[in-house]
Amino acid sequence: MIVSALLLLGIISGFILFRNLKVPHDNQPVEKQYKISVIIPARNEEKNLPYILESLRKQTYMPYEVIVVDDFSSDRTFEIAESYGIKVIRNTKMPDGWTGKTWALWNGYKNSTGDVLAFIDADVRLSPRALESLAKAREKVNGAISVVPYHRPEKFYEKLSLIPNILGIFAFTSPFEKYNPQKGMYGSCIVVSRDDYEKVSGHYSIKGELLDDLKLGEKFTSNGINVQNFIGYDLVFFRMYPYGIKSEIEGFGKGAVLSTSRLEITTTIFIALWLIGLLAVEIIIPFLAFYKNYLFSSFLVFYIVYTLQIIYINNWTGRYGIIVPLFHILSSLFFIYIMVYSLYQVFFLGYVTWKGRKIKI
Protein backbone atom coordinates (compact mmCIF):
# COMPACT_ATOMS: atom_id res chain seq x y z
CA MET A 1 0.00 0.00 0.00
CA ILE A 2 2.79 2.45 0.93
CA VAL A 3 4.75 1.57 -2.22
CA SER A 4 1.67 2.07 -4.39
CA ALA A 5 1.04 5.45 -2.76
CA LEU A 6 4.63 6.54 -3.45
CA LEU A 7 4.41 5.42 -7.08
CA LEU A 8 1.14 7.28 -7.49
CA LEU A 9 2.68 10.36 -5.90
CA GLY A 10 5.56 10.12 -8.38
CA ILE A 11 3.18 10.10 -11.35
CA ILE A 12 1.22 13.04 -9.92
CA SER A 13 4.52 14.91 -9.44
CA GLY A 14 5.21 14.62 -13.17
CA PHE A 15 1.90 16.21 -14.08
CA ILE A 16 2.48 19.01 -11.56
CA LEU A 17 5.97 19.74 -12.91
CA PHE A 18 5.09 19.71 -16.62
CA ARG A 19 3.27 22.96 -17.46
CA ASN A 20 3.32 22.86 -21.28
CA LEU A 21 4.54 26.46 -21.49
CA LYS A 22 4.72 26.89 -25.26
CA VAL A 23 5.94 30.15 -26.76
CA PRO A 24 2.71 32.08 -27.33
CA HIS A 25 2.01 33.02 -30.92
CA ASP A 26 -0.98 34.61 -32.57
CA ASN A 27 -1.82 36.75 -35.58
CA GLN A 28 -1.43 40.06 -33.76
CA PRO A 29 1.45 42.23 -35.00
CA VAL A 30 4.46 43.02 -32.85
CA GLU A 31 3.65 46.25 -31.02
CA LYS A 32 7.04 47.79 -31.73
CA GLN A 33 9.48 47.31 -34.60
CA TYR A 34 12.64 45.94 -33.06
CA LYS A 35 16.09 45.65 -34.54
CA ILE A 36 16.90 42.07 -33.59
CA SER A 37 20.55 41.02 -33.58
CA VAL A 38 20.86 37.24 -33.81
CA ILE A 39 24.17 36.10 -32.31
CA ILE A 40 25.32 32.54 -33.00
CA PRO A 41 28.41 31.12 -31.26
CA ALA A 42 29.94 28.43 -33.47
CA ARG A 43 32.76 26.01 -32.76
CA ASN A 44 33.14 23.35 -35.46
CA GLU A 45 29.54 23.75 -36.61
CA GLU A 46 29.91 23.34 -40.37
CA LYS A 47 27.10 20.74 -40.44
CA ASN A 48 24.66 22.71 -38.32
CA LEU A 49 25.12 26.25 -39.62
CA PRO A 50 23.30 25.84 -42.96
CA TYR A 51 20.11 24.77 -41.13
CA ILE A 52 19.96 27.70 -38.71
CA LEU A 53 21.05 30.26 -41.33
CA GLU A 54 18.54 29.01 -43.90
CA SER A 55 15.75 29.15 -41.32
CA LEU A 56 16.69 32.75 -40.50
CA ARG A 57 16.28 33.66 -44.16
CA LYS A 58 12.66 32.48 -44.06
CA GLN A 59 11.43 34.44 -41.06
CA THR A 60 8.19 36.43 -41.19
CA TYR A 61 9.97 38.95 -38.97
CA MET A 62 13.44 39.33 -40.42
CA PRO A 63 16.41 39.88 -38.11
CA TYR A 64 18.17 43.23 -38.35
CA GLU A 65 21.51 41.43 -38.44
CA VAL A 66 22.92 37.93 -38.04
CA ILE A 67 26.32 37.53 -36.43
CA VAL A 68 28.22 34.24 -36.35
CA VAL A 69 31.16 34.13 -33.95
CA ASP A 70 33.67 31.52 -35.14
CA ASP A 71 35.12 30.15 -31.92
CA PHE A 72 38.47 28.82 -33.17
CA SER A 73 36.89 26.19 -35.41
CA SER A 74 39.08 23.64 -37.17
CA ASP A 75 36.50 22.88 -39.87
CA ARG A 76 34.76 25.08 -42.50
CA THR A 77 32.55 26.96 -40.03
CA PHE A 78 33.91 30.38 -41.00
CA GLU A 79 33.69 29.79 -44.77
CA ILE A 80 30.14 28.44 -44.61
CA ALA A 81 28.92 31.32 -42.46
CA GLU A 82 30.61 33.84 -44.74
CA SER A 83 28.91 32.33 -47.81
CA TYR A 84 25.54 33.49 -46.45
CA GLY A 85 26.54 37.13 -46.67
CA ILE A 86 26.17 37.77 -42.94
CA LYS A 87 28.55 39.27 -40.40
CA VAL A 88 31.16 36.69 -39.39
CA ILE A 89 33.81 37.41 -36.81
CA ARG A 90 36.67 35.28 -35.59
CA ASN A 91 36.87 34.99 -31.84
CA THR A 92 39.96 36.66 -30.47
CA LYS A 93 42.28 34.97 -28.00
CA MET A 94 40.37 34.14 -24.85
CA PRO A 95 41.59 36.07 -21.79
CA ASP A 96 42.12 34.32 -18.48
CA GLY A 97 38.97 33.83 -16.45
CA TRP A 98 36.59 33.27 -19.37
CA THR A 99 34.99 30.16 -20.80
CA GLY A 100 34.88 29.68 -24.56
CA LYS A 101 31.16 30.21 -25.03
CA THR A 102 30.84 33.27 -22.77
CA TRP A 103 33.76 34.90 -24.61
CA ALA A 104 32.18 34.17 -27.99
CA LEU A 105 28.79 35.55 -26.93
CA TRP A 106 30.36 38.66 -25.43
CA ASN A 107 32.26 39.34 -28.65
CA GLY A 108 29.06 38.81 -30.60
CA TYR A 109 27.32 41.38 -28.45
CA LYS A 110 30.18 43.89 -28.88
CA ASN A 111 29.86 43.61 -32.66
CA SER A 112 26.07 43.98 -32.65
CA THR A 113 23.92 47.10 -32.99
CA GLY A 114 20.35 45.86 -32.50
CA ASP A 115 18.07 46.87 -29.64
CA VAL A 116 17.07 43.23 -28.99
CA LEU A 117 19.63 40.43 -28.72
CA ALA A 118 18.81 36.82 -29.63
CA PHE A 119 21.54 34.40 -28.54
CA ILE A 120 20.89 31.22 -30.49
CA ASP A 121 23.03 28.06 -30.64
CA ALA A 122 24.14 26.74 -34.02
CA ASP A 123 22.21 23.46 -33.64
CA VAL A 124 18.87 25.28 -33.32
CA ARG A 125 16.36 25.54 -36.17
CA LEU A 126 13.52 28.04 -36.33
CA SER A 127 10.10 27.81 -37.94
CA PRO A 128 9.20 30.83 -40.13
CA ARG A 129 7.18 32.50 -37.36
CA ALA A 130 9.70 31.84 -34.59
CA LEU A 131 11.50 35.19 -34.44
CA GLU A 132 8.22 37.08 -34.61
CA SER A 133 6.78 34.96 -31.78
CA LEU A 134 9.92 35.31 -29.67
CA ALA A 135 9.84 39.09 -30.08
CA LYS A 136 6.21 39.21 -28.96
CA ALA A 137 6.82 36.83 -26.05
CA ARG A 138 9.72 38.95 -24.79
CA GLU A 139 7.56 42.04 -25.22
CA LYS A 140 4.76 40.47 -23.18
CA VAL A 141 7.10 39.23 -20.44
CA ASN A 142 8.80 42.65 -20.38
CA GLY A 143 12.09 41.04 -19.52
CA ALA A 144 14.22 38.16 -20.76
CA ILE A 145 13.00 34.84 -22.17
CA SER A 146 14.61 31.54 -23.05
CA VAL A 147 13.32 28.49 -24.89
CA VAL A 148 13.99 24.79 -24.40
CA PRO A 149 13.85 23.65 -28.03
CA TYR A 150 11.77 20.69 -29.20
CA HIS A 151 14.25 17.82 -29.53
CA ARG A 152 14.46 15.94 -32.82
CA PRO A 153 16.95 13.08 -32.33
CA GLU A 154 17.53 10.77 -35.27
CA LYS A 155 19.97 7.99 -34.31
CA PHE A 156 19.27 5.49 -31.54
CA TYR A 157 21.97 6.79 -29.19
CA GLU A 158 20.50 10.31 -29.48
CA LYS A 159 17.13 9.00 -28.33
CA LEU A 160 18.69 7.82 -25.07
CA SER A 161 18.39 11.48 -24.04
CA LEU A 162 14.66 10.92 -23.41
CA ILE A 163 14.75 10.96 -19.59
CA PRO A 164 17.47 13.66 -19.27
CA ASN A 165 15.44 15.83 -21.64
CA ILE A 166 12.23 15.40 -19.62
CA LEU A 167 14.06 16.18 -16.38
CA GLY A 168 15.45 19.32 -18.01
CA ILE A 169 11.96 20.38 -19.05
CA PHE A 170 10.77 19.84 -15.47
CA ALA A 171 13.63 21.94 -14.08
CA PHE A 172 13.22 24.92 -16.42
CA THR A 173 9.42 25.13 -16.51
CA SER A 174 8.50 23.98 -12.98
CA PRO A 175 5.84 26.23 -11.43
CA PHE A 176 7.94 26.30 -8.26
CA GLU A 177 10.78 28.10 -10.07
CA LYS A 178 8.72 31.22 -10.70
CA TYR A 179 10.09 33.08 -7.68
CA ASN A 180 13.44 31.32 -7.43
CA PRO A 181 16.12 34.03 -6.91
CA GLN A 182 18.52 31.72 -8.78
CA LYS A 183 16.13 31.12 -11.68
CA GLY A 184 18.16 30.08 -14.68
CA MET A 185 17.67 30.24 -18.42
CA TYR A 186 18.17 27.70 -21.21
CA GLY A 187 21.22 28.72 -23.22
CA SER A 188 20.21 27.41 -26.65
CA CYS A 189 17.82 30.32 -27.22
CA ILE A 190 17.83 33.49 -25.12
CA VAL A 191 16.14 36.75 -26.13
CA VAL A 192 16.64 39.97 -24.18
CA SER A 193 16.63 43.69 -24.82
CA ARG A 194 19.99 45.39 -25.18
CA ASP A 195 19.17 47.66 -22.25
CA ASP A 196 18.46 44.75 -19.91
CA TYR A 197 21.54 42.87 -21.10
CA GLU A 198 23.77 45.88 -20.48
CA LYS A 199 22.12 46.52 -17.12
CA VAL A 200 23.72 43.31 -15.79
CA SER A 201 26.91 43.66 -17.89
CA GLY A 202 25.82 40.62 -19.91
CA HIS A 203 28.20 37.70 -20.26
CA TYR A 204 31.04 39.78 -18.86
CA SER A 205 29.42 39.43 -15.42
CA ILE A 206 29.45 35.61 -15.68
CA LYS A 207 32.57 35.21 -17.80
CA GLY A 208 34.06 32.31 -15.83
CA GLU A 209 30.86 30.38 -15.22
CA LEU A 210 30.47 26.86 -16.57
CA LEU A 211 26.67 27.11 -16.28
CA ASP A 212 26.55 30.45 -18.06
CA ASP A 213 22.86 30.29 -18.98
CA LEU A 214 21.78 29.53 -15.42
CA LYS A 215 23.96 32.31 -14.01
CA LEU A 216 22.75 34.81 -16.61
CA GLY A 217 19.15 34.11 -15.59
CA GLU A 218 20.12 34.66 -11.97
CA LYS A 219 21.77 37.99 -12.88
CA PHE A 220 18.60 39.18 -14.61
CA THR A 221 16.38 38.06 -11.73
CA SER A 222 18.53 39.67 -9.03
CA ASN A 223 18.44 42.96 -10.96
CA GLY A 224 14.65 43.03 -11.18
CA ILE A 225 14.43 41.79 -14.77
CA ASN A 226 11.63 39.30 -15.29
CA VAL A 227 12.72 35.89 -16.60
CA GLN A 228 10.40 33.40 -18.30
CA ASN A 229 11.24 30.00 -19.82
CA PHE A 230 9.19 28.31 -22.55
CA ILE A 231 9.23 25.10 -24.53
CA GLY A 232 9.83 25.40 -28.27
CA TYR A 233 7.25 22.86 -29.56
CA ASP A 234 6.47 23.92 -33.17
CA LEU A 235 8.60 27.10 -33.25
CA VAL A 236 12.08 26.34 -31.94
CA PHE A 237 13.69 22.92 -32.25
CA PHE A 238 17.10 21.26 -32.45
CA ARG A 239 19.05 18.07 -32.93
CA MET A 240 21.43 18.19 -30.00
CA TYR A 241 24.19 15.64 -30.54
CA PRO A 242 24.51 14.39 -34.13
CA TYR A 243 28.28 13.86 -33.83
CA GLY A 244 28.30 10.74 -31.65
CA ILE A 245 27.45 9.43 -28.21
CA LYS A 246 30.69 10.82 -26.74
CA SER A 247 29.56 14.39 -27.41
CA GLU A 248 26.14 13.55 -25.97
CA ILE A 249 27.66 12.26 -22.73
CA GLU A 250 29.97 15.28 -22.47
CA GLY A 251 27.11 17.67 -23.22
CA PHE A 252 24.75 16.34 -20.58
CA GLY A 253 27.53 15.52 -18.13
CA LYS A 254 29.08 18.97 -17.97
CA GLY A 255 26.27 20.41 -15.86
CA ALA A 256 24.20 17.45 -14.65
CA VAL A 257 25.32 17.60 -11.02
CA LEU A 258 26.02 21.32 -10.64
CA SER A 259 22.68 22.45 -12.09
CA THR A 260 20.62 20.55 -9.50
CA SER A 261 21.90 22.79 -6.70
CA ARG A 262 20.22 25.81 -8.27
CA LEU A 263 16.66 24.51 -8.15
CA GLU A 264 14.01 25.39 -5.58
CA ILE A 265 13.80 22.65 -2.95
CA THR A 266 10.15 21.97 -3.91
CA THR A 267 11.13 21.41 -7.53
CA THR A 268 13.91 19.07 -6.43
CA ILE A 269 11.54 17.06 -4.21
CA PHE A 270 8.93 16.63 -6.94
CA ILE A 271 11.57 15.65 -9.51
CA ALA A 272 13.02 13.15 -7.04
CA LEU A 273 9.58 11.64 -6.41
CA TRP A 274 8.95 11.27 -10.14
CA LEU A 275 12.37 9.79 -10.83
CA ILE A 276 12.36 7.39 -7.86
CA GLY A 277 8.94 6.09 -8.86
CA LEU A 278 10.04 5.66 -12.45
CA LEU A 279 13.22 3.80 -11.53
CA ALA A 280 11.31 1.63 -9.05
CA VAL A 281 8.83 0.30 -11.63
CA GLU A 282 11.56 -0.10 -14.27
CA ILE A 283 13.91 -2.08 -12.04
CA ILE A 284 11.45 -4.11 -9.95
CA ILE A 285 8.99 -5.24 -12.63
CA PRO A 286 11.41 -7.65 -14.42
CA PHE A 287 12.07 -9.46 -11.13
CA LEU A 288 8.36 -9.68 -10.33
CA ALA A 289 7.73 -11.13 -13.77
CA PHE A 290 10.57 -13.65 -13.45
CA TYR A 291 9.42 -14.92 -10.06
CA LYS A 292 5.71 -14.66 -11.01
CA ASN A 293 5.05 -12.52 -7.97
CA TYR A 294 1.45 -11.48 -7.26
CA LEU A 295 2.53 -7.80 -7.28
CA PHE A 296 3.46 -7.98 -10.95
CA SER A 297 0.02 -6.82 -12.17
CA SER A 298 0.04 -3.76 -9.89
CA PHE A 299 3.52 -2.72 -10.95
CA LEU A 300 2.64 -3.29 -14.60
CA VAL A 301 -0.22 -0.81 -14.27
CA PHE A 302 2.16 1.80 -12.87
CA TYR A 303 4.66 1.07 -15.63
CA ILE A 304 1.98 1.63 -18.25
CA VAL A 305 0.83 4.88 -16.63
CA TYR A 306 4.42 6.18 -16.44
CA THR A 307 4.90 5.23 -20.10
CA LEU A 308 1.71 7.03 -21.17
CA GLN A 309 2.83 10.09 -19.20
CA ILE A 310 6.22 10.06 -20.96
CA ILE A 311 4.52 9.75 -24.35
CA TYR A 312 2.21 12.67 -23.47
CA ILE A 313 5.13 14.90 -22.42
CA ASN A 314 7.07 13.93 -25.55
CA ASN A 315 4.15 15.02 -27.67
CA TRP A 316 5.12 18.59 -26.75
CA THR A 317 8.84 18.34 -26.13
CA GLY A 318 10.56 15.79 -28.38
CA ARG A 319 10.27 13.18 -31.12
CA TYR A 320 11.63 9.90 -29.76
CA GLY A 321 9.90 7.25 -31.84
CA ILE A 322 8.44 4.12 -30.23
CA ILE A 323 11.19 1.86 -28.84
CA VAL A 324 12.84 4.16 -26.28
CA PRO A 325 9.56 5.60 -24.86
CA LEU A 326 8.22 2.06 -24.40
CA PHE A 327 11.46 0.70 -22.95
CA HIS A 328 12.40 3.88 -21.11
CA ILE A 329 14.64 1.96 -18.71
CA LEU A 330 17.31 2.27 -21.43
CA SER A 331 17.22 6.06 -21.11
CA SER A 332 17.03 5.87 -17.31
CA LEU A 333 20.22 3.80 -17.23
CA PHE A 334 21.82 6.33 -19.58
CA PHE A 335 20.80 9.11 -17.19
CA ILE A 336 22.36 7.26 -14.23
CA TYR A 337 25.58 6.87 -16.20
CA ILE A 338 25.59 10.61 -16.98
CA MET A 339 25.15 11.47 -13.30
CA VAL A 340 28.01 9.16 -12.27
CA TYR A 341 30.21 10.62 -15.01
CA SER A 342 29.31 14.16 -13.94
CA LEU A 343 30.08 13.37 -10.29
CA TYR A 344 33.44 11.94 -11.34
CA GLN A 345 34.33 15.13 -13.23
CA VAL A 346 33.20 17.48 -10.48
CA PHE A 347 34.65 15.75 -7.44
CA PHE A 348 37.66 13.87 -8.81
CA LEU A 349 38.88 15.72 -11.91
CA GLY A 350 37.85 19.26 -11.03
CA TYR A 351 37.04 20.06 -14.64
CA VAL A 352 34.63 19.10 -17.41
CA THR A 353 35.42 18.44 -21.06
CA TRP A 354 33.42 20.06 -23.85
CA LYS A 355 34.27 20.58 -27.53
CA GLY A 356 37.92 19.86 -27.01
CA ARG A 357 38.30 22.20 -24.04
CA LYS A 358 38.84 21.43 -20.39
CA ILE A 359 36.81 23.83 -18.28
CA LYS A 360 37.76 24.16 -14.61
CA ILE A 361 34.95 23.98 -12.09
Q: How crowded is residue 216: how many other Cβ atoms within 10 Å of its Cβ?
A: 28
| E strand intervals along the chain | 36-42, 65-70, 87-90, 116-120, 124-126, 143-148, 150-151, 189-193, 226-231, 236-238, 351-354, 357-360
Give which of 127, 125, 109 is closest to 117, Cα–Cα.
109
Q: What are the pLDDT digits (tens) for 157-202?
A: 999 999 999 999 999 999 999 888 889 999 999 999 999 999 999 9
Average pLDDT over residues 246-256: 84
Output the pLDDT for position 229: 96
Output the pLDDT for position 269: 95
The band of 243, judged by pLDDT with boundaries at 50, 70 and 90, is: confident
The band of 260, judged by pLDDT with boundaries at 50, 70 and 90, is: confident
- pLDDT: is 91 or 125 the higher one? 125
Average pLDDT over residues 147-159: 95
Output the pLDDT for position 343: 87
**In this structure, what DSSP letter does residue 268 have?**
H
Give which of 316, 236, 334 is closest to 19, Cα–Cα.
316
Give which of 67, 63, 73 is closest to 36, Cα–Cα.
63
Mean pLDDT of the chain: 91
For residue 239, give the 3-state DSSP assignment.
Answer: coil
Output the pLDDT for position 192: 97
The band of 252, judged by pLDDT with boundaries at 50, 70 and 90, is: confident
Q: pTM value?
A: 0.93
Q: Round to whole Å and give the CA distance between 299 and 7.
A: 9
Classify each residue of 99-131 as buried b or exposed e, where b means 16 or more C-beta atoms within 10 Å of its C-beta.
bbbbbbbbbbbeebebebbbbbbbbbbbbebbb
Percent of the chain with pLDDT over 70: 98
Residue 345 scores a pLDDT above 90: no
Residue 308 scores a pLDDT above 80: yes
Average pLDDT over residues 290-296: 83
Q: How crowded is residue 347: how many other Cβ atoms within 10 Å of its Cβ?
A: 10
Residue 128 scores a pLDDT above 90: yes
Average pLDDT over residues 261-276: 92
Percent of the chain with pLDDT over 90: 70
* Residues forming beta bridges with residue 125, ordered by sequence position: 237
162 near 328, Cβ under 8 Å?
Answer: yes
Output the pLDDT for position 159: 96
Output the pLDDT for position 359: 73
The band of 295, judged by pLDDT with boundaries at 50, 70 and 90, is: confident
Output the pLDDT for position 250: 86
Q: Round to whole Å and give the CA distance between 120 and 201.
A: 19
- Residue 184 sits at φ, ψ, to 5 deg, of -95, 175
Residue 30 scores a pLDDT above 80: no
Q: Please state the separation of Cα 346 from the chain's center in Å.
A: 20
